[in-house]
Amino acid sequence: MCKDSSSCFLSLILGLVITLASVPPEVEARAFFVFGDSLVDNGNNNYLATTARADAPPYGVDYPTHRATGRFSNGFNIPDLISQAIGSEPTLPYLSPELRGEKLLVGANFASAGIGILNDTGIQFVIFIDR
């Protein structure tokens, strides 16, 4: 039994990653697209004018480069681990100038910290429609 919903969620994700890592791929991996918030953001917020930032220490201290990458973690995040488990390159942020050509065939990460489906969680991301 989980203590709260976030520990249940993390247990579910960890179980998924372990399962994916233990199953050998039978076919070549397909494109992997990521949607979500700061838990899976791998750098989109580096390209946005927002206060939600992960571009300075302690973020990235356990990442292979030991530098902040825009991931809201000290190392790899869940999409990185899933990419490793399926034998694929990590997805690039959809706002990255490097995401074109063959790199797009790997997939893309559309996650952004601070985003949400409720008005109070996504208030900083307002869409302006030009008529």
Do 56 and 22 meet the contact criterion of CB atoms below 8 Å apart? Answer: no
List Cα–Cα distances, 69 to 41, 61, 84, 99, 104, in angstroms. 10, 10, 17, 15, 19
For residue 38, what are the contacts with CB-CB under 8 A and spacing of at least 6?
A: 52, 54, 72, 111, 112, 113, 114
pTM above threshold 0.75 = no
Give the C-alpha separation, 36 to 114, whole Å: 9
Mean pLDDT of 39-58: 88
Query: Helix (H, G, I), strand (E, B), or coil: what is residue 11?
Result: helix
Give the C-alpha separation, 42 to 69, whole Å: 7
Give the C-alpha separation, 39 to 17, whole Å: 15
Average pLDDT, the chain: 79
Domain parsing of the chain, residue ranges: 5-109
Say what the pLDDT of residue 27 is: 63
Q: What is the DSSP letter of 42?
A: B
pLDDT at 128 over 60: no
